[in-house]
Structure 1
Amino acid sequence: MEIRTITANGIDFGYLTMGEGPLALCLHGFPDTAHTWRHLLPELAERGYRAVAPFMRGYAPTSIPADGAYEAGALIADACALHEALGGDGDAVLIGHDWGAVPVYGATAFAPRRWRKAVAMAVPPVEAMLTTFFDYEQLKRSFYIFLFQTGLAETAASRDGFIASLWRDWSPGYDASRDVELVRRSLGDPANLAAAIGYYRAMLGTVPPTGRYAAEQAATGREVPILYLHGLQDGCLGVEAVKPVAEFLPPGSRVEHVSGAGHFLHLERPREVNDLILDWLA
């Protein structure tokens, strides 16, 4: 698919797109790219959506934000700005995986009239993780988050095999060679890699929030129903860490676990995951 460019929230976003109709905005996570949606975009297009998958802020070919903001509020603002720039309306849907799930929760709370339904995968609302995130087994899985708070992060993450090893651990048995190569192209420049690590530094406050996105960050009114999907073999965030997720989703939401799938469940089990998403959006 051809990569197009659009400016939103002061950032030049590279994006993939297919189809015509209501906007279906698909947001990727780490360490990944917009190409992660290669199985879903064609099927969304066939169902009458304009399916759009941007490269997230800092992920080439999207530009690195001049304000250096990577807090959740900035990602929420990006989603809403892309909705507007792409001509979205109240029939738009929002889909996100990993870091892309963060603005799903925030944008549907901050601007619920923009979105009809939403889908989040592999990362639940933060409230659902608070009781289990610091369990020993989960802390071992999350070593990279703490590594990324240090000055050694860029050196470690740029070493051959680091990104590939994350994919192997998070989705055991999945051949991620194509995906890892696409990530290498997107984050090969040190500035882009530092941007991707910046999400984690903002997450734990190692880099203080810019303050530009306080309203987006503080949004709490959850109205838009969300389908939450999680792989039962997820090696990044164990399924036991997300068991109470339904309690923290808006009324009318649904939770589904996908057997035989790890963290990148939409790539490992595309038929099953696509069917769940398309049925939810129908």
Structure 2
Amino acid sequence: MAATASDTSAVDTDGCVGAPAVTGPEGVIAGSVPSPYRRLRGIRRDLGNRIAGRCPGRAPDGRPGGWGRTGWRLLVSTAVADPDETTSYPDRTVSPPEEAVTFPGARRPDRHRRVTASGIELHVCEWGDASAPPLLLAHGGFDFTGTFDVFAPMLADAGWRVVSWDQRGHGDSDRAALYTWDADVRDAAAVLDTLGSDPLPFIGHSKGGALMLHLANALPHRVSTMVNLDGLPSHQAMSDVSDTERTRLLREQLTGWLDFRRSLVGRQRRPGTIDELAERRGRMNPRMTHDWLRYLVTVGARRDDDGWRWKIDPTMRMGGFGPWRPQWSMLRLPGIGVPFLGVLGLELEVMGWGTTPADVIPNLPPGGRLEALEGVGHFVHIEQPRLVADLVLEHLTAGAPAGGWS
């Protein structure tokens, strides 16, 4: 799910977004997480030269300062700048939903647990019998496990132990100081390690589908079969990013990001009701029903004194996966050495990758299969959960090892 403008509109007392006042010559890497703030030592000059100043700091006497030694600020998304991933940011205590909202067929997980990965606590959810054969299910970017509350029970009711997790900075997992593709792969491996040593099915939607492809390439002995749900990007310009080029891109991206965030000041407010937040999400996902979006708010958002907001770390940015390029996943697809099913929604929408069957078919691994669904958008498992679940279960049955799954 993409963060809407209202999802990332934390503003400090300067009128600048996402960072506190700094009273000394040290910069602060900060998103809009209140505390603790991570201080930079020894690299102030390097970062100061690399990043254009877009937001004034404060001098020790409280007056607005510049980037000088008496009072300056570095406003940097932790998603691209902080190499230390071991610090997590606990969320504020929040009120429970103001009303119980249900949705036909939706079922919350049967079990919840925590898994620690590189110092980050991940929220892991499970549907189905704990003794059933496990499968790993990964959500997309800016989503959370609650988006599987209809789809996952269908797999569980067919005899599977469905295991999913909120990725770092998403849902009820910890916020982190590092958001990169490598960190996500390590987190997925940590969850996988809790499921024994036998190979098992990998399933992922959108970014989660690409993530599962990379995990399968990193740990080929742990995957038995794979399903990719509209998670094969192909149309973004691809280039390996050198340090010099990355510096230039960082400056340009931050400039645009900060200008956008500053433009929100004074004209955005947090939704005050479940319906308001559902309506905002609906503008990004017009194919989703309002009833589903209302349900999604109650499982994936929180209410505090400012109103409702999604349980997503606002310091993350769309595409904030470090030097990784999404379409690299397509290039890894031919080397997948296990049965593969791709499910592609053909209705183009803002949240989708824009991938077509012509992009995917030449890259399918030997024996791989692509199901292209007419009249279905990017969220194939939400728009058509029964259809997609049946496709997945058929694929799992066809790819079962001799003697069945264990």
Tell me the TM-score range normalised by the shorter chain: 0.7 to 0.9
Partner of 1:74: helix, strand, or coil?
helix
Within-5 A mapping of 1:39-54: 39-54=150-165
CA contact 1:171–1:264 (8 Å) conserved in 2: no
Partner of 2:173: 62
Alpha-carbon distance, 1:184 to partner: 2.1
Instruction: Report Cα offsets for 1:128-154 as digits up to 9, x if no partner.
Output: 33479xxxxxxxxxxxxx899613459
Amino acid at match of 2:336: R
Contact 2:135–2:162 (CA under 8 A) maintained in structure 1: yes
List runs of 5+ in structure 1 lacking aligned partners: 133-145, 210-217
- Note the 1:88-107 alignment, pairs <5 A: 88-90=197-199, 92-107=200-215
- Find the aligned partners of 1:267 and 1:248 in 2 and give their Cα distance: 26
Match of 1:150 among 257, 260, 276: 257
**CA–CA distance in structure 1, aligned partners of residues 354 and 156 of structure 2:** 31
Q: What is the count of residue pairs matched by the alignment? A: 252
Distance 1:181 1:158, change over 3 A: farther
Aligned partner (choices 231, 250, 260) of residue 123 of structure 1: 231
Partner of residue 225, structure 1:
339
Q: Which has the larger radius of gyration?
A: 2
Q: What is the aligned partner in structure 1 of residue 139 from structure 2?
A: 28
Once superposed, what is the RMSD of the aligned Cα atoms?
3.6
Matched, 1:4 2:140: no
Q: Give, in whole Å, the separation in 2 of the partners of 1:148 and 1:25.
A: 38
2:221 maps to which residue?
Answer: 113
Which residue does the alignment assign to 1:76?
Answer: 185
SS of corresponding position for 1:24: strand
In 1, Cα distance between equivalents of 2:148 and 2:262: 26
TM-score using structure 2 length? 0.53
267, 289, 299: which is aligned to 1:182?
A: 299
> Of the two structures, which has the highest relative contact order with CA contacts closer than 8 Å and spacing of 6 or more?
1
Query: Is 1:246 matched up with 2:361?
Result: yes
Q: Is 1:193 aligned with 2:275?
A: no
Could you tell me whether the CA contact under 8 Å between 1:229 and 1:258 is conserved in 2?
yes
SS state at 1:13 partner: strand
Kept after mapping to 2: 8 A contact 1:26/1:96: yes
Q: C-alpha separation between the residues in 2 aligned to 1:16 and 1:228?
A: 24
Deviations 1:23-77 (A, max 9, x none): 2111111332201112232232233322112111111311123xx3322222222
Q: Name the structure with the higher helix share.
A: 1
CA distance in 2, matches of 1:55, 1:268: 21
The match for 2:372 among 257, 262, 279 is 257
Provide the identity percentage: 26
| CA offsets 1:248-271 (integer angstroms, 9 cap, x no match) | 333222111223322222111111
Shift of 1:234: 3.9
Give the secondary-structure state (helix, strand or coil) at the position aligned to 1:86.
coil
TM-score of the two chains, using structure 1 as the length reference: 0.74
- The CA deviation string for residues 179-232 of structure 1, in whole angstroms up to 9 with x for no partner, is 24433239967994225x2462235x5xxx8xxxxxxxx988532333111222
Deviation at residue 118 of structure 1 after TM alignment = 1.2
1:172 aligned counterpart, secondary structure: coil
